[in-house]
Amino acid sequence: MAVELVEDVQSELVVELSRLKEEHRDLDSAIEALERGVAGDQLQIQRLKKRKLTLRDRISYVEDQITPDIIA
């Protein structure tokens, strides 16, 4: 029972990690497109970059949850 629960949580984390990485890539593309524009909306670019940093933090957290710490 406990093993199944751990496996379920693990698989949910893997799915979330995949979704977060995809959103992070999408933000990269959106930021690049806005920066290439003649009159790039700096406020929008700033917001997207902030969201991207938040996603990076969440990705790191989820990766840490998936990969257990190894104490040497």
Q: Which pLDDT tens digit goes with each residue over 16-31?
A: 999 999 999 999 999 9
Q: pTM of the entire structure?
A: 0.80
Q: Which pLDDT tens digit goes with each residue over 41-66?
A: 889 999 999 999 999 999 999 999 98
Number of domains in the chain: 1
Whether 57 is in a domain gets the answer yes
Output the pLDDT for position 4.
77
Q: What is the 3-state secondary structure (H, E, C) of the chain?
A: CHHHHHHHHHHHHHHHHHHHHHHHHHHHHHHHHHHHCCCCCHHHHHHHHHHHHHHHHHHHHHHHHHCCCCCC
1: confidence class by pLDDT, cuts 50, 70, 90? low
Provide the residue range defining the domain that includes 7: 2-66
Output the pLDDT for position 72.
56
